[in-house]
Structure 1
Amino acid sequence: MPKYRKKPIVVEALKLTRSITIETSDGTKKGLPGDYLITDKNGEQYLCERDTFEADFELVKGQIDLKEMIQKSFRIIKTKIVKHS
């Protein structure tokens, strides 16, 4: 029987240090410290539990700009909060 491998998908992610609540296309989601906030290539954000994230993703070496990633994530969250206020 043929074997298949999931194609690699590159996402931006930030490990949470505090609880957050975000609005996603699937509704309101709550992330806990240790979970990851993921931003995909289309700018959509979603939360992923630490164990699941660390089992499914590995760091792309030489491709991380932590400051830019944090700023982009908070700009998107701020925009979503303003739109829902």
Structure 2
Amino acid sequence: MTKYRKKPIVVEAVKLTRSITIETSNGTMKGLPGDYLITDKNGEQYPYDRDRFENEYELVKGQIDLKEMFRKSFSFVKTKVYKLKTED
């Protein structure tokens, strides 16, 4: 999971692609597509509004974004396979 820093707090977060409802210690919370699902240092998860998140958090530098790396790798492999098939 990608890490983000809220000055000076670091959390793990993913951008939601669908609506979710989650039970937290503060009650039931809803997240919408585009919002972020945060996992805090205690392991608790909760949705966070996209605009607030992007204003209050910054990406922790020096880490590898595995999702992006795999996307680029598979795109590269797909292109190579397509070229091989069209050359036959």
TM-score normalised by length of structure 2: 0.63
Please tell me whether Structure 1 or Structure 2 has the larger radius of gyration of its CA atoms: 2
TM-superposed CA distance for 1:7, in Å, is 4.8
Question: Where do 1:58-73 residues align within 5 Å?
Answer: 58-64=58-64, 66=66
Any gaps of 5 or more consecutive residues in structure 1?
A: 1-5, 68-85
Give the match's secondary structure for 1:43. coil
Aligned to 2:13: 13
**How many residues are aligned here?**
62
Residues 64, 43 of structure 1: alpha-carbon distance in 2 compared, 3 angstrom cutoff: farther
Any gaps of 5 or more consecutive residues in structure 2?
A: 1-5, 68-88
Higher strand share: 2
**Runs of 4+ with deviation above 6 angstroms:** none
* 1-structure distance, mates of 2:26, 2:64: 28
Measured on the aligned residues, the alpha-carbon RMSD in Å equals: 1.8
TM-score normalised by length of structure 1: 0.65
The one-letter amino acid paired with 2:55 is A
> Identical aligned pairs, as a percentage?
84
* 1-structure distance, mates of 2:28, 2:66: 26
